[in-house]
Amino acid sequence: VSNKPLSPRELRLWHAFKLMGDEVLARVGSDLEKDAGLSGAEFGVLSRLRGMGRGELRQQHLADSMHWHKSRLSHQLTRMQERGYLERRPAAEGGVMVSLTELGREVLEAAYPVHAKSVRAHLLDRLSSKQEDALVSISNRVTNPEEED
Amino acid sequence: VSNKPLSPRELRLWHAFKLMGDEVLARVGSDLEKDAGLSGAEFGVLSRLRGMGRGELRQQHLADSMHWHKSRLSHQLTRMQERGYLERRPAAEGGVMVSLTELGREVLEAAYPVHAKSVRAHLLDRLSSKQEDALVSISNRVTNPEEED
DNA sequence: AAAGATTGAAGGTTCAATCTTA
DNA sequence: TAAGATTGAACCTTCAATCTTT
C-alpha cells in the first residue's frame, strides 16, 4: 500500500466518509438518549439480547456479535446492571449468562420506534434505492474485503 | 417519518453501515496510535492547523471545521498543549489563537504517511472507482440532504 | 447581554494486569 | 494452562455551569 500524500480527491472522500459516520451516529445516539433514555451502546446490547437470544445470551457471544472487546462489554454490562436493565449469572456451559430484566424489556420496547424513526430520518430516507444497494455492497467490501460480492 | 419496525433489509443496511464506520475509524485510529503516537483526534487537530492556517488558527474556526463542540475542543487542546504539540494565546480579533509548536510540526510530518497508508489500506483501496463516486454522493446526501447532488 | 472559552463531574473506552475456574 | 471475565488507571466525550471580555 502506498504511503504517498493523499490527493485532494482522496482527501475529500475520506473527510466526507468520516463526517457521514460521525454525524449519523451522533444524531441517532442523541435521539435515542433524548426520547428513550438509552445510549446507542445500551440499545445495542438490549436489542441483541432480545433479538438473538430471546432474552438471554452468553457474555462472550454478545461480545463477538457486537465486535467489542470483552473488557468494554464487561464495563458496559456493569453499568447496565446497576441501572436494572439486566442480570448476570454463571452459565451452565461455563462463562456468564446475561439476561434481560423486566425493566430492560420495557425500556427496549419503548426505544424501538424511536430508533427506527431516527435511523430512517438520518440515513435510510436520505438514500435512493440505488444508493441503498451501493451502500450495502460498499459496506460489505470495506468490512470484509476478501469475500465475493 | 415512519416509526414502524425496521424491515430485515433496513436492519441489514443499518448494521452494515454502522459496522463499516466503526471498523474503519478504529483501524485507522489504531494504526496512527501505533506507528505515529497520535490519536485520530490529535491528528485531526494538527493537520487542520497546518493545512488550513499554515500553522495557526482561531480556536473557534478550528472547532467549526471539525464539527466539534467548543468544550470538546477545549479539553482536547489542553491535553495537546500539555504534550507540547501546540500553544494558545489571546487573538487580536478576540478569542484564542492556537499554533503548532516545533514538536507538533515534527510529529505531524511523521504521521502523514502513516495516515495516508492506513486510509488507503482500510478504505480507499477496497473501493472500485464507481464505488468511490457512489460513496461521495451518498456522503454528501446524508450529511446535507437539502443540497442538489 | 452576547460571544468565546474553560471547568468539573459523570459517563464511556482502552489497555494491561489480574482473578477465577475448568 | 487456557478461556472467560473483571478491575483500575488513563484517556476521551458530553453536559451544564461558569468565567471573561467586549
B63 CB less than 7 Å from any atom of strand C: yes
Distance linking the first and last C-alpha atoms of chain B: 22
Using CB atoms, pick whichever of A127, A132, A139 lies closest to residue B20.
Answer: A139
Cα B46 versus chain centre, distance: 10
- In the block, cell 500539555 appears at B82
What pLDDT digit, counting tens, does each position of A97-138 carry? 999 999 999 999 999 999 999 999 999 999 999 999 999 999
**pLDDT confidence of B148, banded at 50, 70, 90?**
low
Q: Which pairs with CB-CB distance under 8 Å and at least 24 residues apart come from A83-87?
A: A85/A42, A85/A46, A86/A45, A86/A46, A86/A49
Q: Which amino acid is residue A76, in one-letter code?
A: Q
B138 and A134 Cβ atoms separated by less than 8 Å: yes
- D16 C1' – B70 CA distance, angstroms? 13
What pLDDT sits at residue A84?
A: 92
A76 CB less than 7 Å from any atom of strand C: yes
A2 CB less than 7 Å from any atom of strand C: no
Task: List, in order, residues 6 or more apart from A111 with CB less than 8 Å away.
Answer: A32, A36, A37, A38, A43, A46
Q: Which residue of B has its CA nearest to A146?
A: B126
B49 and B100 Cβ atoms separated by less than 8 Å: yes
User: Shortest CA distance to B39 belongs to which of B67, B66, B71, B79?
Assistant: B79
Task: List, in order, residues 6 or more apart from A121 with CB less than 8 Å away.
Answer: A27, A31, B1
- How many whole angstroms separate alpha carbon B138 and alpha carbon B149? 9
Cα–Cα distance list, A128 to A131, B56, B113, B134 (Å): 5, 41, 36, 11
Mean per-residue pLDDT, B16-27: 93
- How many whole angstroms separate alpha carbon B11 and alpha carbon A64? 18
Does the pTM exceed 0.85?
yes
- How many whole angstroms separate alpha carbon A99 and alpha carbon A89? 8
What pLDDT sits at residue B53?
A: 80
Using CB atoms, pick whichever of B14, B134, B138 lies closest to residue A119.
Answer: B14
- How many whole angstroms separate alpha carbon B74 and alpha carbon A35? 29
The answer for A127, left when phi > 0, alpha when psi is -120 to 50, beta otherwise, is beta
What pLDDT sits at residue A148?
A: 62
B12 CB less than 7 Å from any atom of strand C: no
- For strand C, which nucleotides have at least one atom less than 7 Å from a protein CB? 4-9, 11-17, 21-22
Q: For chain B, give the number of residues.
A: 149
B33 CB less than 7 Å from any atom of strand C: yes
What pLDDT sits at residue B28?
A: 93
**Residue A58 forms beta bridges with which residues?**
A97
Mean pLDDT of chain B: 93
Q: Is A3 an 8 Å CB contact of chain B?
A: yes
Contact (CB<8Å) A16/B124: no
With vertex at residue A17, the alpha carbon angle to CA A12 and CA A19, rounded to the nearest 5 degrees, is: 95
Q: Which residues in chain A touch residue B123, judged by CB atoms under 8 angstroms apart? A: 13-14, 17, 142
What pLDDT sits at residue A93?
A: 86
- D20 C1' – B44 CA distance, angstroms? 28
Contact (CB<8Å) B116/A142: no
Q: Is B17 an 8 Å CB contact of chain A?
A: yes
What pLDDT digit, counting tens, does each position of A32-89 carry? 998 999 999 999 999 999 988 788 899 999 999 999 999 999 999 999 999 999 999 9
What pLDDT digit, counting tens, does each position of A12-28 carry? 999 999 999 999 999 99
Using CB atoms, pick whichever of A2, A14, A20 lies closest to residue B123.
Answer: A14
Q: Which residues in chain B touch residue A123, judged by CB atoms under 8 angstroms apart? A: 13-14, 17, 142
